[in-house]
Amino acid sequence: MLTITLVSPYFSNWQLSIAKEIQAILQALPKFKTLAKLEQVLQWATINGAKALQWDDELGSFEKGKRPGVVVIENDFNSSNRIL
């Protein structure tokens, strides 16, 4: 099984923003803009990244004993704010 993980390298996104990486994927693949597909992209950016770094026992999802981070991303992807 192939696991896709999003990262935010400086050369593709000078803001180092995962929200900008998600925006780029959704712009490059317009047919990908369904709720189910957005959920899949969010998994690439959260739990899959935590698994790739072997931190999924601490991060990547909302589960008892984990320390999730919560970021609110505006609909236009032009701003995001970490709230937790």
Residues 2-21 pLDDT 10s: 888 877 665 555 566 777 77
| Least-confidence region, from 5-19, 20-34, 36-50, 62-76 | 5-19
For 1-22, give the DSSP string: ---------TTT-TT--HHHHH
pTM of this prediction?
0.67
Reading the block at residue 74, the tokens are 């505006």
Residue 10, sorted as left (phi over 0), alpha (psi -120 to 50) or beta, turns out to be alpha
Of residues 35 and 59, more confidently modeled: 59
pLDDT in tens, 52-68: 889 999 988 989 999 87
Average pLDDT score, the chain = 78
